[in-house]
């Protein structure tokens, strides 16, 4: 089995989808000849031609808006927004159009497009290239929001997303694109949407994380273990709809939860997850649910991002606080 980085796994998923389904097309800014600014579509235009792997004009609203029309008309568009911060340009088409086609037409039409976008910090990018905006999409009924934290999942989740009957916003953590390799099957396989994964089993505290903060939570769990605290790491993978049963099962077991996300804390997904835990497992809780998140400021310039991002140290401290209470 090959050992691939996440970017290679994503590219492979796109190739499989293009090969297996003539309705699939991949488009966006610089995805064709250049193979994507991160090389997620490397070589795909050479293999599948210019009508299936398409360099579009520079217009995010048109990229998403045409994906809506393509999907309504029976195609399978996989559109790329070059960096998630530029999804703001397309918010009308994402939130007011893509997400609502099924509801608006009461099932007469659907728009099962996939919108892929790199996101997250830690790689010293210019402004608007590092923002974590998952809460905006999770707050939009009708969208499935997915984010992988490892190569195996990235491929299987993306294939599921392309075959999903619902539109999927597929968020790819830039920092994990080439962070590590793992064995990824070359064949076609799916990782189901809507299912979280336990990355590490534990008894004292549940760490809820996704995408770029999964490795942060894993490191914090390892450090906490050295202090005699046993943490379970739950990788949500799908952020909307939420895997409520996985959350409930884990917190019923541990009685404590720390949510770790990169997006700003205020009105972030951590708040929704904390409230869900209260609904699902209140009588099992031994401590309030804590959050370790980005600061309530815009994502800062590169020289400040290390201070801004949720660090392993901060997560360990939150774990200790949860244990002290």
Partner 1 sequence: MQVYRFTGDTTPDQVLNEAGEVVGELPDQAADLALRWYPFMIFCRKFDERAQLLQRQGRIGTYAPFRGQEAAQIGSFAVLRRTDWVFPTYRELAGLMYHGLEPAHALLKSRGHPDAGRMPEGFRMAPPQIAIAAQILHAVGAGWACKLQQTDDMAVAYFGDGATSEGDFHEGMNFAAVMRLPVVLFCQNNQYAISVPVHRQTASPTIAQKAIAYGVEGVRVDGNDVFAVYQAMRYAADRARRGDGPTLIEAVTYRLGPHTTADDPSRYREAADVERWAAAKDPLVRLRLWLTRQGLWDDERQAACEAEAEARVCQAVAEMEAYPHKSLEDAARHVYAEVPEGLALQLAERGKEAR
Ligand X SMILES: Cc1ncc(C[n+]2csc(CCOP(=O)(O)OP(=O)(O)O)c2C)c(N)n1
Q: Give which of partner 1, ligand X, none residue 188 binds (C-beta under 5 to 8 Å, depending on kind).
A: none
String marking each residue 26-45 x if it binds partner 1 according to CB under 8 A? ---xx-xxxx-x--------
Q: Give which of partner 1, ligand X, none residue 96 binds (C-beta under 5 to 8 Å, depending on kind).
A: none
| Range in contact with partner 1 (rule: CB under 8 A) among 66-74, 214-222, 240-248, 292-300 | 292-300
CB of 79 to ligand X, least distance (A): 13
Of residues 29 and 204, the one with the C-beta less far from ligand X: 29
Whether 261 is catalytic: no
Q: Does 177 bind partner 1 (CB under 8 A)?
A: no
Q: Does 272 bind partner 1 (CB under 8 A)?
A: no
**All residues at 6 or more sequence positions from 266 whose CB lies less than 8 Å from its CB, including other chains:** 296
Q: Does 104 bind partner 1 (CB under 8 A)?
A: no
CB of 314 to partner 1, least distance (A): 6
Rounded Cα–Cα distance for residues 29 and 47 (Å)? 18
Q: Which residues bind ligand X (CB under 6 A)?
A: 29, 58, 60, 82, 86, 89
Q: Does 55 bind partner 1 (CB under 8 A)?
A: yes
Q: What is the largest CA-CA distance in the chain?
A: 60
Options 129, 139, 261, 284, the catalytic residue: 129
* Three-state SS letters, the chain: CCEECHHHHHHHHHHHHHHHCCCEEEEECCCCCCCCCCCCCCCHHHHHCCCCEEECCCCHHHHHHHHHHHHHCCCEEEEECCCHHHHHHHHHHHHHHHHHHHHHCCCCCCCCCEEEEEECCCCCCCCCCCCCCHHHHHCCCCCEEECCCCHHHHHHHHHHHHHCCCCEEEEEEHHHCCCCCEECCCCCCCCCCCCCEEEECCCCEEEEECHHHHHHHHHHHHHHHHCCCCEEEEECCEEECCCHHHHHHHHHHHCCEEEEEEEECCCCHHHHHHHHHHHHHHHHCCCCCEEEEECCCCCCCHHHHHHHCCCHHHHHHHHHHHHHC
Rounded Cα–Cα distance for residues 120 and 212 (Å)? 7
Q: Give which of ligand X, partner 1, none residue 266 binds (C-beta under 5 to 8 Å, depending on kind).
A: partner 1
Nearest to 322 by CA among 289, 284, 281: 289
Of residues 137 and 299, the one with the C-beta less far from partner 1: 299
Q: Does 271 bind partner 1 (CB under 8 A)?
A: no
Rounded Cα–Cα distance for residues 247 and 241 (Å)? 12
CB of 122 to ligand X, least distance (A): 19
Q: Does 91 bind partner 1 (CB under 8 A)?
A: no
CB of 225 to partner 1, least distance (A): 21
CB of 98 to partner 1, least distance (A): 17
String marking each residue 120-149 x if it binds partner 1 according to CB under 8 A? ----xxxxxx--------------------
CB of 304 to partner 1, least distance (A): 5
Q: Does 46 bind partner 1 (CB under 8 A)?
A: no
Q: Does 300 bind partner 1 (CB under 8 A)?
A: yes
Q: Does 304 bind partner 1 (CB under 8 A)?
A: yes
CB atoms within 10 A of CB 167: 30
So which residues are the catalytic ones? 129
- Could you list the residues that contact partner 1 (CB under 8 A)? 29-30, 32-35, 37, 55, 57-62, 85-86, 88-89, 124-129, 265-266, 295-298, 300-305, 307-308, 313-314, 317
């Amino acid at each position: 089995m090959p050992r691939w980085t996440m970017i290679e796994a994503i590219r492979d998923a796109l190739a499989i989808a293009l090969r297996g389904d003539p309705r699939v097309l991949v488009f966006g800014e610089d995805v064709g000849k250049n193979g994507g600014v991160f090389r997620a579509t490397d070589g795909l235009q050479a293999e599948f031609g210019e009508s299936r792997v398409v360099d579009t004009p520079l217009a995010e609203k048109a990229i998403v808006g045409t994906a809506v029309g393509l999907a309504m008309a029976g195609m399978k568009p996989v559109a790329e927004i070059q960096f998630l911060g530029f999804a703001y340009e397309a918010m009308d088409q994402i939130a007011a159009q893509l997400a609502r086609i099924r509801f608006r037409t009461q099932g007469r039409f659907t728009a099962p497009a996939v919108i892929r976008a790199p996101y997250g910090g830690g790689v010293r990018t210019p402004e608007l290239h590092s923002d974590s905006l998952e809460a905006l999409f999770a707050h939009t009924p009708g969208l499935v929001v997915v984010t992988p934290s490892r190569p195996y999942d990235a491929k299987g989740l993306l294939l599921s997303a392309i075959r999903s009957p619902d539109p999927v916003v597929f968020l790819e953590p830039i920092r994990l694109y080439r962070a590590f390799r793992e064995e990824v099957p070359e064949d076609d396989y799916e990782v189901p949407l809507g299912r979280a994964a336990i990355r590490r089993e534990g008894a004292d505290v549940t760490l809820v994380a996704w995408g770029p903060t999964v490795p942060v939570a894993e490191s914090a769990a390892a450090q906490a273990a050295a202090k005699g605290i046993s943490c379970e790491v739950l990788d949500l993978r799908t952020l909307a709809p939420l895997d409520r049963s996985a959350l409930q099962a884990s917190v019923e077991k541990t009685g404590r939860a720390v949510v770790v996300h990169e997006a700003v804390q205020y009105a972030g997904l951590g708040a929704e997850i904390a409230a869900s835990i209260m609904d699902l497992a209140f009588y099992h809780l031994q401590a309030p649910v804590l959050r370790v998140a980005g600061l309530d400021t815009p994502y800062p310039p590169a020289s400040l991002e290390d201070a801004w991002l949720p660090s392993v140290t901060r997560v360990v401290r939150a774990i200790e606080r949860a244990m002290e209470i």
